[in-house]
Amino acid sequence: MTIDREETVHVLDESSSRFENAASAGLADRVWAIFDNPIFVKHRRTRLRKSLITAPLAVVFVICILIAYSGYSFQGFTNGMVFSLTMIFQAILLAVIGATQIGSSVGAARESGIIDYHRVSPLSPLSLVLGFFFGAPVREYAMYAMTLPLALICIFNEAPGALGFFEATVALFLSAWTMHALALLTSLSTKKPKAGGRGVIGLVIFVAMFGGNAGIFVFRSAATSLNTGLKMGFFGIDIHWLLFTTLYTAPFLFFVLLASVRKMRSERAHPFTKPEAIGAIALLAFLLIGAVWGSPALVPTAITVLYVMVATSCVLITTVTPNQSEFAKGVRRALKEGRGSLGPWSDWAINRATVLVLAAILLLAGTIVTQALPESPGGRNFFNSYSPPEFSLSITVATSVFVVIYVGLAFQAFHLLMAKRASTMFALFLFMVWVVPLLVGAISGASGIDEGIASFIASLSPIAGISLSAGISGLDSTRLLQAGAFCPAIFFAFVFNNLVMVSKRRLEKKIRDSEEKPEEKPVALEV
């Protein structure tokens, strides 16, 4: 090798002028740049190499031939069987294999450390996310394209029609992208990159096991029920089912990709900022209210809404809660910048304000769903068989609100009190107060102890407590069950609020003291 310094200078100087040209590129160039995403191009090159793509395409082709053969043997082209099988095959290719590809691609990039090169390049985190999102499963898209002739034969046989095929395809892509987005976020979030890939595979297996039968049913019925103009209610307005599905899937995709962008920007960033988490729960509340508006079975639907809101709030809280070292970092920065304390919406600030806002949204949404909507006779009929003596959903809503508050504050308290093992101890706490009462209640009920006592024990856990406090057990002791659900929630909220504040003040004082005290220099050298 010979180093020609002049030539190096020449080449690099030319490069500089090229970058300047690129910076002043026109709109057409900018539009092209979207399709010329370097990460997408990288995956296209590696995953569509002739030597690597030939065998998978041959397998897909043979499977399509087999499906077609079975279709001709059982007249499956006209009764929707072939289309159902094709859809299942497409779903496996796109949603299952595609998601695992994203997981392994991102996991490998994190494992090797090359993802850091991308992070320090001028490519935006969004470009990187889109590059992996569309690029990693590019071979699966090619394999999907291979199945399209079979689908076209089904359209030719009017099972389903062109519009039905379009609807099914949109639904398929929405499902696949949802899986892809979850896979991307999982693989970016796991502490061990390789574990991310395994996590995605686990996720896929979980979905396949629990959603498999439902999926097959959906696909079996898809061919015949598509294009039937099924409508779904949104704030009392009937809209096409596909639009309804898109309306609910798009925000989910948006927020998962938003979290992925943040994780792509920085390994140690929280998936959401605090305002983003609040925005997510507010949007969820809006969509849930829209869905249950005018629902014929109002009460169980309202309880479902509460469960969904509580579960989502708890998950979101974990994504915005700083650990002890992050909080300490934030306090040090605030002190250095001459501020007394961190702003409540800072990533490194304690989650107390966010928890309160999330709880307030839950209170509002729960109140709207349980109190403000017109109760339909169907909803009452649903409960007639239980005949609850004293029936009120106000306590149920309040219980849900305090569950969110104490879970959020407990998570924060454990992370402020412990530098390590905070998550483990929090999980242990949840096991003790959520799972143990549930199990004890179930065992007591099964062993023949008084049903009221067994229900009361179970109601101590919010998993059962939220619904039991709504009176769905049909027992006379609803008041007792409400107390069983509500009292632990408000007690823990009080305890953990105090713990959070005490540990926060203690940490702040410790950090202030350490900042004021001059530290020992490592080497005493006068130069």
Token pair of 227 as six digits: 């294009």
**Least distance (Å) from other proteins to the CB of residue 3?**
4
The phi, psi pair for 424, rounded to 5°, reads -65, -45
Which residues bind to other proteins, rule: CB under 8 A? Answer: 1-5, 7-9, 11-16, 18-19, 21-23, 25, 29, 36, 38-39, 41-42, 45-46, 112-114, 116-124, 266-269, 324-325, 328-329, 332-333, 336-337, 419, 519, 521-523, 525, 527
**Least distance (Å) from other proteins to the CB of residue 517?**
13
**Least distance (Å) from other proteins to the CB of residue 175?**
29
- Residue of 117, 252, 121, 97 whose CA lies nearest to 185: 252
Residue number with CB closer to other proteins (446 or 525): 525
Q: DSSP label at 197?
A: H
**Least distance (Å) from other proteins to the CB of residue 521?**
7
Beta carbons of 150 and 72 less than 8 angstroms apart: no
The phi, psi pair for 239, rounded to 5°, reads -125, 160
Q: Which helix (H) or strand (E) holds 123?
A: none
Token pair of 501 as six digits: 């504040």
Residue number with CB closer to other proteins (135 or 465): 135
Token pair of 509 as six digits: 């004082």
264 Cβ contact list (under 8 Å, min separation 6): 115, 119, 125, 128, 129, 188
Residue number with CB closer to other proteins (335 or 495): 335
The phi, psi pair for 526, rounded to 5°, reads -100, 115
Chain-centre distance for alpha carbon 20: 40
Residue number with CB closer to other proteins (326 or 451): 326
Residue number with CB closer to other proteins (97 or 123): 123
Is 169 in a helix, a strand, or coil? helix
Residue number with CB closer to other proteins (182 or 262): 262
Beta carbons of 287 and 248 less than 8 angstroms apart: yes
Residue number with CB closer to other proteins (60 or 328): 328
Residue 104 to residues 22, 53, 192, 368, Cα–Cα distance (Å): 33, 18, 12, 43
- Residue of 247, 218, 216 whose CA lies nearest to 232: 247
To which residue do tokens 């092209």 refer? 32
**Least distance (Å) from other proteins to the CB of residue 525?**
6
**Least distance (Å) from other proteins to the CB of residue 506?**
14
Amino acid at 514: S
For residues 422 and 417, give the distance between their C-alpha atoms in angstroms, rounded to a whole number.
8
Residue number with CB closer to other proteins (446 or 526): 526
Q: Which helix (H) or strand (E) holds 234?
A: strand 231-234
447 Cβ contact list (under 8 Å, min separation 6): none
- Helices 274-292 and 241-265 pack at an angle, to 10 degrees, of 170
**Least distance (Å) from other proteins to the CB of residue 389?**
54
Residue number with CB closer to other proteins (38 or 388): 38
Residue number with CB closer to other proteins (15 or 221): 15
Q: What own/partner pairs with CB < 8 Å and gap ≥ 24 does 151-155 have? A: 151/83, 151/86, 151/90, 153/68, 153/77, 153/82, 154/77, 154/80, 154/82, 154/83, 154/86, 154/223
Residue number with CB closer to other proteins (153 or 335): 335
Q: Is residue 90 packed enough to be buried (19+ CB in 10 Å), middle (13-18) or exposed (0-12)?
A: buried
87 Cβ contact list (under 8 Å, min separation 6): 168, 172, 219, 222, 223
Token pair of 527 as six digits: 């130069």
**Least distance (Å) from other proteins to the CB of residue 317?**
21
Q: Is the dihedral of CA 242, 244, 247, 253 positive or negative?
A: negative
**Least distance (Å) from other proteins to the CB of residue 329?**
5
Residue number with CB closer to other proteins (338 or 448): 338
**Least distance (Å) from other proteins to the CB of residue 44?**
10
Residue number with CB closer to other proteins (20 or 447): 20
**Least distance (Å) from other proteins to the CB of residue 348?**
10
**Least distance (Å) from other proteins to the CB of residue 22?**
4
**Least distance (Å) from other proteins to the CB of residue 189?**
17
- Residue of 490, 436, 424, 494 whose CA lies nearest to 463: 436
